[in-house]
Amino acid sequence: MPIASICVVKGHAAAHLQATIEGVSEVLRRVTNAPRITVWIHEIDPAHWAAQGVLGAELLRTKPASEVDSPVVTVIMIKGRPVEQHREMIEGITDVLVKHLRLDPMAVRVNIQETAAESFGIGGLQASVLFERMK
């Protein structure tokens, strides 16, 4: 059930974005062994972000997206996974973004948000109810 939402600066090549989606999907699949994984990318328009007080559109006039981007990856998953899985996800996701978007690892931010099974819905049911029915 892990869901990863990746926010990046608009300007990366489409092939690099696709490889990033595939790579992050593979990391989540490998680490969590979950049957269903969702990964999407949000491209942020250069007019809608700034770094150090300078609008992105201005920054991108002189530098490629890979030099100014500081992506944020949010992973949502049900509570209860071991801290080792969190570590593996953070490392793996960072490696994927560094490789495919050509970023400095220190520019990548990964936030794992755990939620209680009672607070997450799947198909109109609380995940806790659905999991109980699947036993």
Summarize pLDDT for 17-39 with one digit per residue, the tens: 999 999 999 999 999 998 889 99
Q: Find out whether 9 and 49 touch, Cβ atoms under 8 Å.
A: yes
The β-bridge relationship of strands 109-115 and 54-55 is unpaired
The single residue listed with the structure tokens 């939620």 is 115
- Summarize pLDDT for 34-74 with one digit per residue, the tens: 888 999 999 999 999 998 899 999 999 998 888 888 899 99
Full set of structural domains in the chain with CATH: 3-134 (3.30.429.10)
Q: Return the pLDDT at 5.
A: 98
Give the H/E segment covering residue 8.
strand 3-9
Q: What is the dihedral of CA 88, 29, 74, 107, to 10 degrees?
A: 50
Q: Find out whether 73 and 108 touch, Cβ atoms under 8 Å.
A: yes
pTM for the model: 0.89
